[in-house]
Chains A and B, each alone.
Chain A
Amino acid sequence: AQKVTQAQTEISVVEKEDVTLDCVYETRDTTYYLFWYKQPPSGELVFLIRRNSFDEQNEISGRYSWNFQKSTSSFNFTITASQVVDSAVYFCALSEARLGTYKYIFGTGTRLKVLA
C-alpha cells in the first residue's frame, strides 16, 4: 500500500530560524515520484518541487532545499532563514503510475507558523 506520513502536525518558529519538515513514504513500486506543495490560507495548493525515485540528488532553490533518501524512504524539506510569508500548510505527496495515470497520495500536512 502507498502511504505518506507527515508526523509533524504543527511547527512554530521565529523568523530567520531554519526549519525542516519531515516526510516519510511507503511504496512497493521501484518507480515513483515525490512532490511538495504549499497551501497558504487562500487554499490553493502551490507546487514546490518534484523528485523522481531514480534521482537521489538533493536540490536547493533559494531558501528551500530538499533531502531525498531512498534508504530511509524520506523526502524532507528545509526552509533556511524562515520568513513570515512561509507560514502555510505544507503537503508531501507520492505519485505512482497505474494504467498510465498518476494519482497523488498526500500526507496530512504540516502547518508551519513563522512568528515575527
Chain B
Amino acid sequence: DAGVTQSPTHLIKTRGQQVTLRCSPKSGHDTVSWYQQALGQGPQFIFQYYEEEERQRGNFPDRFSGHQFPNYSSELNVNALLLGDSALYLCASSPRRGKGGFPYEQYFGPGTRLTVT
C-alpha cells in the first residue's frame, strides 16, 4: 500500500518564475492538505482540498493556488516566486472524517524541497 507520494523531490527556480508541485494521496484518502515548512520551523497550513474544492485556507497570498483531481491527487501552484518561498512543501492526506466524525490523523509525504534563487 503506497503512502503519500510527492514530486519532484527537489526543485530550483528563479525569482518571478512559477512552479507546480504534485501530490498523490494514500490509497483510500480523499482529503489533501498542503503545508509550507521553512528551515527550522514547523509546517504552516496553506490549504486543504476535498471533493475537488478548496475548503479551508491558511494565511497565504493568492500567489499560492491549488487543484484537486477526480482521483484525489492534487497540485500546488506558486506564481511570481519570491526568495522567501524557499521551503519544504509537504502534502498530507487523510480520509475526510473518521468514525464518529472525528478527524483522522494526516499522513505526510516526503515533501518537495523548493529553492528560489
Chain A residues with Cβ below 8 Å from B31 are 101
A52 and B45 contact, Cβ closer than 8 Å, known pairs A44-B109, A103-B33: no
Q: Among the listed B45, B88, B109, B111, which residue makes an inter-chain contact with A104, where contact means beta carbons less than 8 Å apart? A: B45
A42 and B110 contact, Cβ closer than 8 Å, known pairs A33-B103, A91-B42, A103-B58: yes
Docked-complex contact B105 and A50, CB < 8 angstroms: yes
Docked-complex contact B43 and A95, CB < 8 angstroms: no
Docked-complex contact A98 and B88, CB < 8 angstroms: no
A-B pair count, CB < 8 Å, reads 64
Docked-complex contact A103 and B43, CB < 8 angstroms: no
Docked-complex contact A33 and B56, CB < 8 angstroms: no
A105 and B45 contact, Cβ closer than 8 Å, known pairs A44-B111, A100-B55: yes
A91 and B43 contact, Cβ closer than 8 Å, known pairs A47-B107, A99-B56: yes
Tally of A interface residues using CB under 8 Å: 29
Which among A11-19, A61-69, A70-78, A106-114 touches the partner chain?
A106-114
CB-nearest residue of chain A to B108 = A45
Chain B residues with Cβ below 8 Å from A102 are 103
Chain A residues with Cβ below 8 Å from B113 are 43
- Besides A6-B42, A33-B102, A99-B56, 5 other CB < 8 A contacts? A47-B105, A47-B108, A97-B103, A99-B55, A101-B56
Residues in chain A within 8 A of chain B (CB atoms): 4, 6, 33, 35, 37, 42-47, 50, 52, 91, 93, 95, 97-109
28 of the cross-chain contacts (CB-CB < 8 Å) are: A33-B102, A35-B105, A42-B110, A44-B108, A44-B111, A45-B43, A45-B90, A45-B108, A47-B106, A47-B107, A47-B108, A93-B42, A95-B103, A99-B56, A100-B96, A101-B31, A103-B33, A103-B48, A103-B56, A103-B58, A104-B33, A104-B92, A106-B35, A106-B42, A108-B41, A108-B42, A109-B41, A109-B42
